[in-house]
Amino acid sequence: MIKLLIAGYHGFGNCGDEAILLAMTTNIRAMAPDVDITALSFKPEFTKTEYNVNAVQRFNAAEVLKTIRQSDIVLSGGGTLLQDGTSTRSLIYYLAIIKAAKLFKKRVMLYANGIGPVNGSLNRRLVKSVVNTVDMITLREKLSEEDLRSIGVSKPNIVVTADPAFTLRSITPDEAVQIFKNEGVPLDKQLVGVSVRAWSRALGGEEYLDRIARVCDNLIKEGKNVVFVPMEYPKDLDVSRRVAAKMQQRAYILEKRYNPPQILGIVGELDLMLSMRLHTLIFAAVKNVPMLGIIYDPKVEYYLKELEMPEAGDVRREHLNVSVMTERALSMLSELDRYKAILKKNADIMMDKANENDRLLDKQLDIIRDSKAAR
């Protein structure tokens, strides 16, 4: 057996990161049944049960080092791991995993990573030094390649692919409809999903939440139903409640916690997705649900452009325009077939790029298989 370790942001309740792990483990098992998978996780028991993999507490240094030493290959990914926007500590953590793996002479692949921002000069030198030692890099957007190149990473093979969540499978439509019924969400009108997150760096602070509330009110007045779809639980649930409390009209909130296949199925029953969260947008693309994206990060802007879907505004640079957002959403709801055709074409391209992650991983696994056979 080949022992494979996945190091990512898992076990924290973020549906997007959990979707990445589920897609990775599902695809790797289908492609390579001779691989034994272990994942680093904040909640190892949850990860073991949810994904049927081995799991190690990510902050237990001794166990992490032991697991790296026993592995044949370490995957760093997916998601945006190498960045210091959150904290330098997070960046150092993932670089240390890679460094330890190379010290133990293990193969390392950056699997569908997002990169950046990496702003500190010392941090940039560390990324250059460590990442230039890995064996293969796939990145989920072109922007990340530009960031790595600007840092000075040039030695390993770099391929721009797409987020693994494009390959995810969902629950059935009947199961998704039952969730709506259980949550008291009516399906008698066009249904607009809303996925919001807290973002302290938005222009005007939390004013963007007030404006999203007004847009939702406008859509309901125009005869639509609005349902909030939390992605990171319970953080997004709290923000969704705050937005709903600002509204004059009745909106619905999915109160319970749902796993990635369930959220994917839920999104598939929507008519339009209004979202800040990248993975709700990706889920909408997988299900061919037209989307209107609220930009707070370059990765959201990138995927909206790749999918040729409209943006609702950029909270980094401007105050959201309630009238423009409302008109854009209503226009899309009146031309769903046109937007679905555009989305289908581009989502198919993204799905094929996402599968490239595993095709390139399989080449790394072949090298390991050959090495084991030669011993």
Residue 75, sorted as left (phi over 0), alpha (psi -120 to 50) or beta, turns out to be: beta
Q: How many domains does the chain have?
A: 2
How confident is residue 352, by pLDDT bands cut at 50, 70 and 90? Answer: very high
- pTM for this predicted structure: 0.95
Q: Which of 136, 160, 184 is the last residue of a domain?
A: 160
Looking at the DSSP bridge assignments, the partners of residue 4 are 37, 73
DSSP-derived secondary structure letter, 14? B
The answer to whether residues 327 and 218 belong to one domain is: yes
pLDDT, one tens digit per residue, over 96-152 is 999 999 999 999 999 999 999 999 999 999 999 999 999 999 999 999 999 999 999
Residue 72: CA count within 13 A, CB half-sphere: 18
The answer to whether residues 134 and 184 belong to one domain is: no
- Does residue 270 form part of some domain? yes
Tell me what pLDDT residue 75 has.
98
CATH (domain of 199): 3.40.50.2000
Residue type, 369: R
Q: How far is CA 57 from CA 16, 39, 49, 53, 351, in A?
A: 20, 9, 14, 13, 31
Whether 168 has a pLDDT exceeding 90, the answer reads: yes
- Does residue 375 form part of some domain? no
The answer to whether residues 104 and 233 belong to one domain is: no
CATH (domain of 153): 3.40.50.11930
Terminal Cα distance for the chain, rounded: 14
pLDDT, one tens digit per residue, over 54-100 is 999 999 999 999 999 999 999 999 889 999 988 899 999 999 999 99
Are 22 and 264 within 8 A, CB to CB? no
- Does residue 357 form part of some domain? no
- Does residue 358 form part of some domain? no
The answer to whether residues 182 and 316 belong to one domain is: yes
The answer to whether residues 196 and 286 belong to one domain is: yes
Beta pairing class for 191-195 and 311-314: unpaired
What Rg do the C-alpha atoms of the chain give, in angstroms? 21
DSSP 3-state assignment of 269? coil
The answer to whether residues 201 and 122 belong to one domain is: no
The answer to whether residues 140 and 223 belong to one domain is: no
Whether 210 has a pLDDT exceeding 90, the answer reads: yes
Helices 142-151 and 121-131 cross at an angle (nearest 10°) of 100
Whether 157 has a pLDDT exceeding 90, the answer reads: no
Are 266 and 258 within 8 A, CB to CB? yes
Are 312 and 208 within 8 A, CB to CB? no
The answer to whether residues 143 and 281 belong to one domain is: no
Tell me what pLDDT residue 105 has.
98
Q: How far is CA 89 from CA 84, 95, 123, 239, in A?
A: 8, 10, 10, 26
Provide φ and ψ at 355, rounded to 5°. Answer: -65, -20
- Does residue 255 form part of some domain? yes
CA distance 200 to 157: 36
Q: Which of 100, 132, 160 is the last residue of a domain?
A: 160
Are 231 and 277 within 8 A, CB to CB? yes
- Does residue 312 form part of some domain? yes
Domain span holding position 216: 173-349
Q: Which of 294, 327, 298, 326 is nearest to 311 (CA)?
A: 294
- Mean pLDDT over each residue of the chain, to the nearest integer: 97
CA distance 58 to 42: 6
The answer to whether residues 122 and 245 belong to one domain is: no
- Does residue 370 form part of some domain? no
Q: Which of 95, 126, 160 is the last residue of a domain?
A: 160
- Does residue 374 form part of some domain? no
The answer to whether residues 84 and 219 belong to one domain is: no
How confident is residue 156, by pLDDT bands cut at 50, 70 and 90? Answer: confident
Residue 97: CA count within 13 A, CB half-sphere: 29
Beta pairing class for 225-228 and 252-253: parallel
